[in-house]
């Protein structure tokens, strides 16, 4: 497994744990289809939540959420619509910014900034 993939999985796990601690129920992780992929699909009350997770060491090049550009947002929305099919459900699009540091023992979460209704 590459370091980038390892860091990504670490961030997704940290985000999923955070979401559960906030009362959300994880429905699916790493949903892939021909349209695109969504990191985490969850339930938060009446909403089906589609969360994009961005994991970074710091903010030197901007916040993690800034990397979810308009093009990426469009792919996530299309993928969410594919996932929902013909069901008419309340959707929300969130971004989880996971900031970490690396130690000899592995990765440690520095902070998580969870942005509801990010786009």
CATH of residue 29 = 3.40.1350.10
CA atoms within a 13 Å half-sphere pointing along the CA-CB vector of 76: 23
How does pLDDT run across 45-84, given as a tens digit for each residue? 999 999 999 999 877 777 877 889 999 999 999 999 999 9
d(CA 27, CA 97): 20
Output the pTM of the full model: 0.91
How does pLDDT run across 80-101, given as a tens digit for each residue? 999 999 889 999 999 999 999 9
SS3 label, residue 78: helix
| pLDDT, average across residues 30-53 | 97
Q: Which residues span the domain enclosing 12?
A: 3-115
Question: What Rg, from alpha-carbon coordinates, does the chain have?
Answer: 14
DSSP-derived secondary structure letter, 68: S
| pLDDT of res. 71 | 95
More confident residue, 39 or 4: 39
How many structural domains are present in the chain? 1
């Amino acid at each position: 497994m590459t370091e980038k993939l390892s860091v990504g999985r670490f961030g997704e796990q940290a985000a999923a744990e955070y979401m559960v601690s906030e009362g959300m129920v994880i429905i699916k992780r790493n949903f892939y289809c021909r349209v695109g992929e969504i990191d985490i699909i969850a339930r938060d009350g009446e909403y089906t939540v589609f969360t994009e997770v961005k994991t970074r060491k710091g903010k030197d090049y901007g916040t993690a959420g800034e990397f979810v550009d308009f093009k990426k947002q469009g792919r996530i929305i299309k993928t969410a619509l594919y996932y929902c099919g013909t069901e008419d459900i309340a959707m929300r699009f969130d971004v989880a910014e996971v900031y970490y540091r690396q130690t000899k023992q592995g990765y440690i979460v520095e902070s998580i900034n969870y942005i509801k209704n990010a786009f």
